[in-house]
Chain A
Amino acid sequence: GENVEQHPSTLSVQEGDSAVIKCTYSDSASNYFPWYKQELGKRPQLIIDIRSNVGEKKDQRIAVTLNKTAKHFSLHITETQPEDSAVYFCAASLGTGNQFYFGTGTSLTVIP
């Protein structure tokens, strides 16, 4: 099955700096890559996703890039704010009729 690796496991940045979280996947058939944010004690929530036919997607301060050849995708958060502090999970899916494979999570701390 698919194997998703996520790095780093913890990340601390100063407020206003950028944060980058990287994930790799093993199955070249995976075609959907979402990112979920989980605040302390809360449920995971989708923040951005990308499909394999797109190389980059942006939503305000958040962007995701995908390199299909290298089988890796990254989450970029610019101008970080304290409310960005959370655990972030990447995931991969083969799409129709298949399951989601999550990374092990990155705990991001934004220092005011």
Chain B
Amino acid sequence: EAQVTQNPRYLITVTGKKLTVTCSQNMNHEYMSWYRQDPGLGLRQIYYSMNVEVTDKGDVPEGYKVSRKEKRNFPLILESPSPNQTSLYFCASSLSLSLKSEKLFFGSGTQLSVL
């Protein structure tokens, strides 16, 4: 089944404890991205990647890192989480923005709480 898989679904952590949220897609998509969803603010892009080894900052990249060493995986890393990073996170992928195939396929989300 074609899908974007995010793990974990729920995560509670403490300030300063490094964490990684994984994202994997099995559709051979070139484009992958991370969003955070906060009440009243909609979906805000954190980082995106056009292809392997190519990543760019979105609107709210501060405090986050990403890597794209393989086409299928795009992990989101919080080196030193803070309470203002408590949010619902979504990973998404699309076939290729350059091929007019921009439909985003979202993962099931990760609810992160930083205490």
Known contacts: A89-B42, A104-B40. The answer to whether A43 contacts B98 by CB under 8 A is no
The reply to whether A98 and B97 form a contact with Cβ atoms under 8 Å apart is yes
Question: Which of A13-21, A44-52, A58-66 interfaces with chain B?
Answer: A44-52
- Chain B 34-75 interface mask (CB, 8 Å, partner A; 1/0): 010000111111001010000010110000000000000000
Q: Bound state CA distance, A99 and B59, in angstroms? A: 9
Q: Bound state CA distance, A104 and B59, in angstroms? A: 14
Q: Bound state CA distance, A95 and B31, in angstroms? A: 12
How many whole Å from B86's CB to the nearest CB in chain A?
A: 18
The reply to whether A45 and B106 form a contact with Cβ atoms under 8 Å apart is yes
User: Is there a chain A Cβ closer than 8 Å to B103's Cβ?
Assistant: yes
Known contacts: A1-B59, A43-B108, A44-B90. The answer to whether A32 contacts B102 by CB under 8 A is yes
Q: Which residues of B contact A104 (CB under 8 A)?
A: 40-42
Q: Which residues of B contact A44 (CB under 8 A)?
A: 43, 90, 104, 106
Q: Which residues of A contact B103 (CB under 8 A)?
A: 34, 46, 49
Interface size range on B against A: 20 to 34
- Chain A 69-112 interface mask (CB, 8 Å, partner B; 1/0): 00000000000000000000101010111111111110000000
Interface size range on A against B: 20 to 34
Known contacts A44-B104, A103-B42, A105-B43; 20 further A-B pairs (Cβ under 8 A): A1-B59, A6-B42, A9-B40, A42-B108, A43-B106, A43-B109, A44-B90, A45-B106, A89-B43, A91-B43, A96-B98, A97-B97, A97-B98, A98-B97, A99-B33, A99-B48, A99-B56, A100-B104, A102-B45, A105-B42
Q: List 18 A-B contacts (CB under 8 A).
A: A34-B103, A42-B108, A43-B106, A43-B108, A44-B104, A46-B104, A49-B102, A49-B103, A89-B43, A93-B102, A95-B97, A97-B97, A99-B48, A100-B45, A101-B45, A102-B42, A103-B42, A105-B43
